[in-house]
Chains A and B, each alone.
Chain A
Amino acid sequence: MVNNDYILQMRKISKSYPGVRALDAVSLEITRGEVHALVGQNGAGKSTLVEIIAGSLHPDSGEIIYEGKSYTHFEPWQAINLGIQAVHQESQLVEDLTVAENIYLYDLPVGRGNIIDYTGCWSMGRELMGDLKINIAPDKKVRELSFVDKKLVNIAKTFSRPIKLLILDEPTASLDEQGKDILFELIRRWQANGLSIIYISHNIGEIFEVCDSVTILKDGKKVATHKVSDITIDDVILEMIGSTQATLYVREKKRPFEKNKGVLEIQNYSRRELIHDVSFQVREGEIFGLAGLVGSGRTELARMIFGLDLKNSGRLLYKGQDITPMSPYDAIQKGVGYLPEDRKVDGLLLSRPVVENITIVSLAKNSRLLLNLTEERREALSLIKQLEIKTPSLFQLVMNLSGGNQQKVVLAKWLLAAANILIFDEPTVGVDVGAKVEIYHLMESLVHQGKMIILISSDNPELVALCDRVGIMWNGSLVATLEGDNLTEANILRYAMGVNDSMEVRK
Chain B
Amino acid sequence: MTLQNLTSPFRKGIFMEQTYVLLVLILAISVVATIVNPRFVNPQNIINIFQQIAILGIVASGVGMLLVSGHIDISVGSQISLLGVTFAMLVQRILGLPEGNVEPWRQALVYPIAIAITFGGGTLIGFINGMTVVKSRANSFIISLGFSTAYHGLALLVTGGASYMLFGRFETLGRGRVFHYIPISIFFFIGVVLLSHIILKYFRYGRFLYAIGSNRRATHVSGINTDRVVIQAYTIVGILNALAAIILISRVGSALATTGDQYSLDALASIIVGGVSLSGGKGGALNIFLGVVLIGLISNALIIMNVNPYARDFVIGLVIILAVALGQLSERQ
Contacts and interface: CB of A to CB of B under 8 A. Distances in A.
A269 to B, nearest CB: 19
Contacts of A356: 207, 210-211
Interface stretch (A8-16, A340-348, A440-448): A340-348
A348 B3 CA distance: 21
Contacts of B221: 306, 308, 328, 338, 340, 346-347
A329 B223 contact: yes
B6 interface: yes
Nearest to A360: B222
Interface string B177-192: 0000000000000000
Most chain A beta-carbon contacts within 10 A, residue among B2, B207, B220: B207
Nearest to A361: B222
Contacts of A392: 2, 4-7
Nearest to B277: A351
B333 to A, nearest CB: 13
Contacts of B157: none
Determine which residue in B202, B204, B217, B222 has the highest number of CB atoms from chain A within 10 A of its CB, and name it.
B222
Contacts of A413: 222
Interface residues of A, number: 40
B218 A369 contact: no
Interface of A: 306, 308, 327-329, 331-333, 338, 340, 345-352, 356, 360-361, 363-365, 368-371, 373, 381, 384-385, 392-396, 400, 413, 417
A379 to B, nearest CB: 13
A352 B217 CA distance: 14
Contacts of B282: 351
B141 interface: no
Closest 8 CB pairs of A and B: A364-B223, A349-B214, A332-B223, A392-B6, A329-B223, A351-B281, A328-B223, A360-B222
Q: Which of A349, A369, A384 has the most CB of B within 10 A?
A: A349
A328 B207 CA distance: 18
13 contacts: A328-B223, A329-B223, A345-B217, A345-B218, A346-B217, A349-B214, A364-B224, A365-B223, A370-B202, A385-B1, A392-B4, A393-B4, A393-B6
Given A371-B202, A392-B5, A392-B6, A346 B218 contact: yes
B262 interface: no
A448 B3 CA distance: 33
Given A369-B204, A371-B207, A394-B3, A350 B223 contact: no
A393 B211 contact: no
B172 interface: no
Nearest to B225: A329
A383 to B, nearest CB: 12
A331 B220 CA distance: 12
A333 B222 CA distance: 11
Interface in B164-216: 202-205, 207-208, 210-211, 214-215
A368 B207 CA distance: 12
A352 B204 contact: no
A142 to B, nearest CB: 25
B7, B202, B204, B225 — which one has the most chain A CB atoms within 10 A of its CB? B204
Interface in B1-21: 1-7
Contacts of B217: 345-346
A396 B5 CA distance: 7
Given A328-B224, A348-B215, A364-B224, 12 more contacts: A308-B220, A329-B224, A340-B221, A349-B214, A351-B215, A351-B282, A352-B281, A368-B204, A369-B205, A370-B204, A396-B5, A396-B7
Nearest to A373: B202
B34 interface: no
A164 B320 CA distance: 57
A373 B215 CA distance: 22
Contact of A361 (B1, B4, B223): B223
Contacts of A394: 1, 3
B223 A352 contact: no
Nearest to B198: A370
B219 interface: yes
Interface centre among B2, B6, B7, B221 (most CB of A within 10 A): B221
A480 B7 CA distance: 50
Contacts of B1: 381, 384-385, 393-394
A407 B3 CA distance: 21
A302 B203 CA distance: 32
Contact of A328 (B4, B203, B222): B222
A370 B203 contact: yes
B3 A360 contact: no
B2 A393 contact: yes
Contacts of B2: 392-393
A395 B3 contact: yes
Contact of B223 (A331, A369, A400): A331
Contacts of A400: 7
Nearest to A367: B204
Contacts of A361: 222-223
A351 B202 CA distance: 19
A120 B144 CA distance: 46
A349 B205 contact: no
A413 B224 CA distance: 13
B3 A349 contact: no
Contacts of B210: 349, 352, 356
Nearest to A328: B223
B212 to A, nearest CB: 9
Contacts of B205: 369
B204 A371 contact: yes
Contacts of A373: 202
Contact of A393 (B5, B219, B281): B5
Contacts of A306: 221
